C-alpha cells in the first residue's frame, strides 16, 4: 500500500509538472494575460509537496525493509544498521533519481512561494522551464526506473548494500552533490526564463544568485567530502584520481564558479548579460553530462555505481533536448539582449572576466580529457587519460587564474589602473618568488608542487588584503565570504602541493612484535586479531605509532569481509597531528606469517579538506549576507510604501 501511494503521488506530481509547463508557456505567449496563469505558482507548490511525499514513502519502505519492493530487496538487507537502511534509499539508481526530482520539486515550490523580485512574466517563463526539466526526469523515473516496482513474490532476504557505501561519509555525500546539481537546474530555468522574455536584468541576476551560491556551496562540500571519503575508505592513500566520476562533479563546479562570479557582476554592475545566461546553460549542461557519465557506465571508472546503458541513453536524450533546446534559444535570442554597462579591461569586472575565461578553459580541458577515451574508442583505439595529462595542462590555466584571484579583488569596479595597486601586486609577486626560492632550495620538489606551494603562499596573504583598512565588524558578510573562499583555495592548494611534495611512503612485511619506520614515525605491530561488526568480520591490526620517539598512538586498520554481498574492504587508520597525517593500511599475510603494512606520512594533507570547507564556508557567508540585505531592502521598501500611503491618506 505504501509503495502504491508513493507511485500515485509521483504520477500526480508529473501531471502537475506538465500543467506547470503548458500553462506557463501559454502565459508567456499571451503576455501574462492568460486567465490560467494564476495556476502556475500553486501547481509548482503542490508538485513539490507531492514528490516529497513520494520520496518519504520510499524512505519508509527502506526503513521497514519491505522485501516485496524490488528496489528494497535488491539494495537492502534486514540486518543492516538503520542509518544505512535510510541512506540506502539513495544509494542506488532509482532512489537517487527520485531524490533528484524531489529536490527539484521542492526548489520549484520554494521559488513559487518566495520569489517576488522578477517580473511576473519572467517568473512564469522560469517556472515553465522548470516544468520541462522536471517532466523529463519524471518520465525517466516512471518509464524506465520505477522505484516502487513490486516483486511478483516477496524476497526472503535483501541483497544488501555495496559495503563501500556503508560509510557515514558516503551516506550523505551523494545527496549533497545532488543538491548542487539541482540548484544548477534552477539557475538553468532562470536563464531560459529570462531568454524567453528577454528580461536579462540585475534583478534577474539577484534572483538567480542565491540558487547559484547554494548549489555551489553544496558542490564544494560534496567534492570535498567525496575526496576525503575516497582517501580514507579506498585505502590507496590518494585524494584525487581524475576519474570520470570525480570529473563529473568537478566540471559543474568549475562552471558554477564562473557563473557565480559573472552573476555577481550582472547583479551589482549590470554587465556580462549574455555571458551569464550562457554560463547558466553550460553549468546545468555539465551536471547533466556528469549524471550521464556516472549513470551510463560508458566510461571505465573505478567508482561508478548503479550503471545501466539503457538509462544512459535516456539521460543522453534528455541532455540533447534540454541543452540543445536551450542553446538554440540562446542562439536565436542572444543578439536581442542589449549589452549592459561598460567597463575598462583593468577593473574588477575585467579581472572577473579573465577569471571566467580561465575557468572555462580549465573546464574545456577537463571535459576534453574525460571524453577523449570515448572519441578514440569510436576509432577502436583504447586510451585512458590520467594525471600526466590533467595536471600540467590544467596548471597552464590555473596559475594565471590564481594571479587574477590575488589581484582582482583589490581593483575598483568599472575602471582602475594596475599601478594604483602596485604595492599589493609587488607583495604578491615577492611572496611567490620567495616561495619558489625557499622551497626550491630547501628540498627537491617537482615543478608543479613547487608552483603550488609558492602560489598558495602568495594567494593566502593576498586574499586577506581586501580586509585591510576596513572596520572588520562593519565589513559586509558578502565581502567576508569572498575573502574566506579565496583564502580557502590558497589553503587547499598548499595542502595539495605539500601532499605531493613531501609524502613519505613505506611498504613493509612486519612480523607481530616487529617495527617499521616512515618519515619521523616509528610503528610497532603489536598484534593482529579478528573482530566482528553488525554485518562483517575483519582482521584488525594493532599498531603503536610514535612520532619522533614521543607517546605512541594506537592505530587499528582493518581488512573487512562483508557477507551480504560478499566483499572485502580496507579500513585505513589515521593519526592526525597539526603538521600532517599518518595513514596506515593492513594487507594480506605473507606465507611466512608476516603481515603487509602500508604506511604513509603526509605532511599538511588535511589542509586540502580544511581548505575545501573554508571555500564552502565563504559561500555560506556570502549567501547569508545576500539574504540579509535582501530582507533589509524588502523591509525598507515596505516602510517607504507605508509612509507614502500615510502621506496620501493625510493629504
Partner 1 sequence: MNAPKPKHQRLVLVVLALVALVGAGLLAAYALRNQASYFYLPGQMLADPPEVGQAVRLGGMVEQGSLETAADGVTLTFAVTGNDGSRVPVRFSGIAPDLFVEGSGVVAEGRLGPGGIFIADNLLAKHDENYVPRELQDMDQHQAAQMAEETTVGLE
Point out which residues bind partner 1 (CB under 8 A): 162, 164, 234-236, 275, 300, 302-303, 305, 339, 342-346, 353, 357-358, 360-362, 364-365, 368-369, 372, 382-386, 388-389, 392-393, 396-397, 414-415, 417, 507-509, 559, 565-570, 585-588, 590-592, 594, 596, 598
582 - beta bridge partners?
A: 575, 601
Stated as kind and residue range, the H or E segment containing 246 is: helix 244-269
Q: How far is the CB of 593 from partner 1 (least distance, A)?
A: 9
Task: Give, in order, the Cα–Cα distances in Å from 512 to each of 131, 456, 543, 556, 586.
Answer: 63, 43, 10, 14, 12
Q: Which is nearer to partner 1, 148 or 232 (CB)?
A: 232
User: Cell for 15?
Assistant: 501531471
How far apart are CB 209 and partner 1 at their closest, in Å? 21
CB of 403 to partner 1, least distance (A): 15
**Helical (H) or strand (E) element with 400:** helix 387-407
Q: Please say which residue, 357 or 436, places its beta carbon nearer to partner 1.
A: 357
Cα distances (angstroms) measured from residue 378 to each of 248, 308, 367, 371: 21, 20, 17, 11
- Grid coordinates of 16: 502537475
Paired strand residues for 566: 563
Looking at beta carbons only, is 181 or 305 nearer to partner 1?
A: 305
* CB nearer partner 1, residue 590 or residue 628: 590
**Helix (H) / strand (E) containing 542:** strand 536-547
Nearer to partner 1, 42 or 587 (CB): 587
- Smallest distance from partner 1 to CB 513, Å: 15
User: Rounded to the nearest whole angstrom, what is the least distance from the CB of residue 359 to partner 1 in the complex?
Assistant: 10
Would you say 322 or 562 has its CB closer to partner 1? 562
Check residue 539 and report its DSSP letter: E
Which lies closer to partner 1 via its Cβ, residue 145 or residue 355? 355
Q: In 503-539, which residue ranges form alpha helices assigned H by DSSP?
A: none
DSSP string for residues in 346-371: SSHHHHHHHHHHHHHHHHHHHHHHHH
Helix, strand, or coil (residue 345)? coil
Whether omega for the bond prior to residue 565 falls within 30 degrees of 0, making it cis, is yes
Q: Which is nearer to partner 1, 157 or 339 (CB)?
A: 339
The residue to which cell 544488501 is assigned: 160
- Output the smallest distance, CB 46 to partner 1, in A: 40
* Least distance to partner 1, CB of residue 569, Å: 6
How many angstroms separate the Cα of 603 from the Cα of each of 504, 520, 577, 608? 9, 11, 9, 11
Report the nearest approach of partner 1 to the CB of residue 535 (Å). Answer: 16
At its nearest, how many Å lie between partner 1 and the CB of residue 389? 5
Nearer to partner 1, 235 or 252 (CB): 235
Contact 181, 216 (CB under 8 A): no
Amino acid at each position: 500500500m505504501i509503495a502504491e501511494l508513493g507511485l500515485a503521488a509521483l504520477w500526480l506530481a508529473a501531471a502537475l509538472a506538465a500543467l506547470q509547463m503548458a500553462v506557463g508557456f501559454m502565459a508567456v505567449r499571451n503576455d501574462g494575460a492568460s486567465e490560467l496563469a494564476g495556476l502556475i505558482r500553486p501547481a509548482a507548490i503542490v508538485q513539490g509537496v507531492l514528490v516529497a511525499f513520494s520520496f518519504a514513502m520510499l524512505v519508509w519502505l527502506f526503513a521497514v525493509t519491505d522485501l516485496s519492493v524490488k528496489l528494497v530487496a535488491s539494495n537492502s538487507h534486514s540486518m543492516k544498521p538503520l542509518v544505512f537502511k535510510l541512506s540506502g534509499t539513495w544509494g542506488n539508481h532509482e532512489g537517487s533519481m527520485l531524490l533528484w526530482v524531489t529536490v527539484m520539486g521542492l526548489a520549484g515550490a520554494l521559488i513559487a512561494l518566495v520569489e517576488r523580485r522578477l517580473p511576473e512574466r519572467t517568473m512564469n517563463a522560469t517556472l515553465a522551464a522548470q516544468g520541462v526539466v522536471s517532466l523529463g526526469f519524471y518520465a525517466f523515473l516512471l518509464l524506465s526506473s520505477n522505484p516502487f516496482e513490486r516483486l511478483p513474490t516477496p524476497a526472503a532476504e535483501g541483497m544488501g548494500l555495496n559495503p563501500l557505501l556503508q560509510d557515514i561519509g558516503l551516506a550523505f555525500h551523494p545527496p549533497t552533490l545532488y543538491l548542487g546539481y539541482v540548484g544548477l537546474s534552477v539557475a538553468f530555468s532562470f536563464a531560459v526564463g529570462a531568454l524567453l522574455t528577454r528580461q536579462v536584468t540585475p534583478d534577474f541576476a539577484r534572483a538567480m544568485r542565491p540558487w547559484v551560491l547554494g548549489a555551489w556551496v553544496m558542490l564544494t562540500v560534496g567534492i570535498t567530502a567525496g575526496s576525503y571519503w575516497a582517501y580514507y575508505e579506498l585505502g590507496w592513500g590518494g585524494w584525487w584520481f581524475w576519474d570520470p566520476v570525480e570529473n563529473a562533479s568537478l566540471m559543474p563546479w568549475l562552471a558554477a564558479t564562473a557563473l557565480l562570479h559573472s552573476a555577481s557582476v550582472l547583479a551589482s554592475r549590470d554587465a556580462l548579460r549574455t555571458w551569464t545566461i550562457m554560463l547558466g546553460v553550460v553549468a546545468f549542461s555539465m551536471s547533466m553530462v556528469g549524471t550521464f557519465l556516472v549513470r551510463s557506465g560508458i566510461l571505465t571508472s573505478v567508482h561508478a555505481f548503479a550503471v545501466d546503458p539503457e538509462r544512459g541513453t535516456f539521460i543522453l536524450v534528455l541532455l540533447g533536448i534540454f541543452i540543445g533546446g536551450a542553446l538554440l534559444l540562446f542562439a536565436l535570442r542572444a543578439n536581442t539582449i542589449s549589452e549592459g554597462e561598460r567597463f575598462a579591461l583593468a577593473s574588477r569586472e575585467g579581472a572577473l572576466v579573465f577569471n571566467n575565461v580561465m575557468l572555462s578553459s580549465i573546464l574545456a580541458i577537463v571535459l576534453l580529457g574525460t571524453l577523449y577515451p570515448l572519441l578514440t574508442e569510436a576509432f577502436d583505439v583504447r586510451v585512458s587519460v590520467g594525471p600526466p595529462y590533467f595536471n600540467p595542462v590544467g596548471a597552464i590555466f590555473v596559475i594565471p587564474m590564481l594571479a587574477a584571484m590575488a589581484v582582482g579583488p583589490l581593483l575598483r569596479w568599472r575602471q582602475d589602473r594596475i599601478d594604483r595597486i602596485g604595492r599589493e601586486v609587488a607583495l604578491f609577486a615577492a611572496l611567490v618568488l620567495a616561495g619558489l626560492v625557499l622551497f626550491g632550495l630547501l628540498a627537491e620538489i617537482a615543478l608543479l608542487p613547487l608552483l603550488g606551494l609558492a602560489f598558495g603562499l602568495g594567494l593566502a596573504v593576498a586574499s586577506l588584503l581586501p580586509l585591510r583598512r576596513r572596520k572588520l565588524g562593519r565589513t559586509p558578510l558578502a565581502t567576508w565570504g569572498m575573502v574566506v573562499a579565496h583564502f580557502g583555495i590558497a589553503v587547499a592548494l598548499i595542502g595539495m602541493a605539500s601532499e605531493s611534495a613531501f609524502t613519505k611512503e613505506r611498504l613493509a612485511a612486519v612480523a607481530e612484535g616487529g617495527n617499521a619506520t616512515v618519515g619521523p614515525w616509528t610503528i610497532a605491530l603489536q598484534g593482529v586479531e579478528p573482530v566482528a561488526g553488525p554485518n562483517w568480520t575483519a582482521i584488525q591490526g594493532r599498531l603503536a605509532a610514535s612520532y619522533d620517539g614521543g607517546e605512541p598512538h594506537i592505530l587499528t586498520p582493518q581488512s573487512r569481509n562483508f557477507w551480504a554481498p560478499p566483499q572485502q574492504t580496507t579500513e585505513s587508520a589515521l593519526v592526525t597531528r597539526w603538521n600532517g597525517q599518518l595513514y596506515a593500511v593492513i594487507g594480506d599475510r605473507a606465507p611466512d606469517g608476516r603481515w603487509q603494512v602500508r604506511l604513509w606520512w603526509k605532511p599538511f594533507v588535511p589542509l586540502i579538506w580544511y581548505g575545501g570547507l573554508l571555500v564552502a564556508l565563504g559561500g555560506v557567508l556570502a549567501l547569508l549576507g545576500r539574504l540579509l540585505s535582501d530582507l533589509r531592502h524588502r523591509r525598507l521598501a515596505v516602510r517607504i510604501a507605508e509612509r507614502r500611503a500615510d502621506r496620501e491618506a493625510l493629504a
